[in-house]
Amino acid sequence: MILQEKYTLSNGVNIPKLGLGTWFISDEDAIKAVKDAIEIGYRHIDTAQAYMNEHGVGEGIRNCGIARKELFVTSKLAAEIKSYDLAVAAIDNSLKTMGLDYLDMMIIHSPKPWMEFHEENAYLEGNLEAWRALEEAYKAGKLKAIGVSNFQQPDIENILKSCSVKPMVNQVLAHISNTPGKLIDYCETNGILVEAYSPVAHGELMKNQEVLKMAEKYDVSVPQLSIRYCLELGLLPLPKTANPVHMKNNANVDFVISGEDMEILKSMKQIENYGEASMFPVYGGRLK
């Protein structure tokens, strides 16, 4: 069962192969969502400072009835934080807000502030500053693993040139019809696990007739096919939902997509429109 399976990060830490994403889940609703997910069998919860629900996620973690060491909790350093001092304070604030002694992982949410996501300034120095703060928190035991999100190859190369601890994950937009193959290969070559957020393309894949037909062939839902697709590629999918029925459905992916069908899915025409999500920088300009 996928909820019991784990990847091993480059530092030897085990991370469950399927996580619960909590973007757009309110602080209040996050408490129940986390508890429901853990009761179903999830052991990996993903949040972020930008989601404004760290308090609720932390409360759910603390009151779920499962030992803390059995859970893997990730948060993200806000994209706008590009200085060492601000990063140190933000890391400590996340721990305080969540009421946790440590986080299993913290990652830089974006190489650039969201409002400048498509601007030329790469914030190379700012990312090194933020990374130094993550490294120190990691060495102090506050964080069990550290990584990045939405980083392209040049952004990662910038970190690798001067870091004392290599990024362990890169969390990116990856799904059927938008699979950044070169970036995934680069990350794997450097021992960086790729996590896939929005594995169902923010719901847009539900409208894709080719994907619907393929899901019917395997007698599964589109989310199940989409999550299995990511797993077949060695990625770690993070489907977001507060609905326990969907949580169970998303975890019921013990089937195999044939190699031939994987090639069809990999070569599917790239999605052009993410609907309402297109207003967000990551969806408005797709990762390559």
**Which residue numbers are catalytic?**
51
Token duo for residue 157: 């190369």
CA distances (Å), origin 273, targets 21, 241, 257, 277:
21, 21, 26, 9
Do residues 27 and 1 make contact, with C-beta atoms less than 8 angstroms apart? no
Name every residue whose Cβ is closer than 8 Å to that of residue 9 and which is 6 or more positions away in sequence: 15, 145, 168, 169, 193
Cα–Cα distance measured from residue 111 to residue 249, given in angstroms and rounded to the nearest whole number: 33
Cα–Cα distance measured from residue 87 to residue 94, given in angstroms and rounded to the nearest whole number: 11
Report the candidate in 229, 149, 133, 257 with the shortest Cα–Cα distance to residue 193.
Answer: 149
Q: Where are the beta strands (DSSP E) in 33-184?
A: 44-46, 72-77, 105-108, 146-149, 169-173
Helix 209-217 vs helix 222-232: crossing angle, to nearest 10: 80
Helix 27-40 vs helix 244-251: crossing angle, to nearest 10: 40
Q: Where are the beta strands (DSSP E) in 176-263?
A: 193-197, 236-238
